[in-house]
Amino acid sequence: MLKHLSLGCLVLLLSSLSAFAADGKKGPLWPEGAPGAKGTTENDIPTLTAYLPASEINTGCAIVVCPGGGYGHLAVGHEGLEIAEFWNNLGVAAFVLEYRHSGRGYQHPAPLHDAQRAVRTVRARWEEYDIDPNRVGIMGFSAGGHLASSAGTHFDAGKPDAGDPVERVSSRPDFMILCYPVIAFNQPFTHRGSQKNLLGADADEELTKSMSSELQVTSETPPTFLFHTTEDTGVPPQNSIVFYLALVKHKVPAELHVFEKGRHGIGLGKAVAGTSAWPELAHNWLKVRGLLSDKK
C-alpha cells in the first residue's frame, strides 16, 4: 500500500483535499472546478460521498457506486444510499458518485471524467479512508452500470508530474460490479434513451463504438460480476450477456447471473424472490476474488 504514494505526494494530497467532505457528507470531486464545467452551480459540481464501515469490521475494500437514471437523472436512493449501507454492514467502504449528466446539461465525456476522478480520489486517499489502494472497485446500476463499465474499459495509469496529486494515481478499477447495466449502443437491445442522453441524437459511428463497452474489453479489463433479470424490458439482459462474452473472450475473470424475476431498476431487490440473492452472491464473489480480508 505504501508504494502507491511518496511522502511528499501524501503531504500535497492532504493539503489539497482539505475541502473534501468527511464520512456521510458530500464533497466536490474537483475543489477548484470540474473540467469542462459550464458554470459554478450545483449542476456543474460532481460530488462523492464517503460512507465508511465500522473500524472493527473494515475489510479494506472500497467501492465507488454509480446510481442509474438513463444519464438524465440519478436514482441516488435505492441505487446509491441503500447500496452504501449494504456494503458498510459487510465492512466495505462505499462512495456514492453524483456525476454530471444530460439533466444537468452535460453529455460525454463529462460522466466518464467524473467516474475516473472518483476512482482516483478514493485510491489517492487510501490512508485517510483506511482502505487498500489495490482493492478499489466500481459498481453501477442501469446507465450507472454503463458508466462503471466505461471506467473499466477507459482508464490510464495517472500522470506522475501532475500538479494535483489525485491525478497522479491510476483510474483503473480493481474490479467491477455491474447491475442490469446498459452496455451496447446501436443494437436492437440498446437503451436508446441512455445513448441519446450521453452521446446526443447524431453521434458519429466511431464515438458510438468507443462507448459501446462490449467492444472495448481487453485483457486489461478488471474482473467483473454482472447480474440482470429476464423480465427486464427496459434494459434487456442481452446487455450483460454480450459484455460477459467479451470478458470470456479476453480471458478476464467474470461471473454472470441472469435471474428470471424482477423489473428494471430493482436495486437490492429485497422483495423479489430469487433475484434478492444477488447482493450476497456479489459479496461472495469478492471473497472468492480475495478482495475482502478475513475480518468479514
Identify the band that residue 21 occupies on the pLDDT scale cut at 50, 70 and 90: very low
In this structure, what C-alpha cell is assigned to residue 252? 478476464
Identify the band that residue 128 occupies on the pLDDT scale cut at 50, 70 and 90: very high
Architecture of domain 2-288: 3-Layer(aba) Sandwich (3.40)
Identify the band that residue 288 occupies on the pLDDT scale cut at 50, 70 and 90: very high
Please give the mean pLDDT across all residues of the chain.
92
Closest Cα partner for 143 from 233, 246, 235? 235
d(CA 247, CA 214): 8
pLDDT at 13: 43
Identify the band that residue 26 occupies on the pLDDT scale cut at 50, 70 and 90: confident
Its pTM stands at 0.91
In this structure, what C-alpha cell is assigned to residue 64? 465507488
Mean pLDDT of 99-127: 98
Per-residue model confidence as pLDDT tens digits over 249-284: 999 999 999 999 999 999 999 999 999 999 999 999
> Helix (H, G, I), strand (E, B), or coil: what is residue 212?
coil
pLDDT at 294: 61
Closest Cα partner for 235 from 175, 176, 187, 177? 187
The answer on pLDDT for 154 being more than 50 is yes
Mean pLDDT of 208-234: 98
**For the chain, how long is the longest CA-to-CA vector?**
53
Closest Cα partner for 52 from 86, 90, 93? 93
DSSP letter for 166, please.
G
Mean pLDDT of 191-202: 96
The answer on pLDDT for 2 being more than 80 is no
d(CA 146, CA 66): 9
Mean pLDDT of 281-296: 88
pLDDT at 22: 45
The answer, yes or no, to whether the previous bond of 31 is cis (omega within 30 of 0) is no
DSSP letter for 5, please.
S
Which residues contact residue 185 at a Cβ distance below 8 angstroms, ignoring those fewer than 6 apart? 195, 199, 208, 209, 211, 212
pLDDT at 252: 98
Q: Where are the domains of the chain?
A: 2-288
Cell 468479514 found at? 296
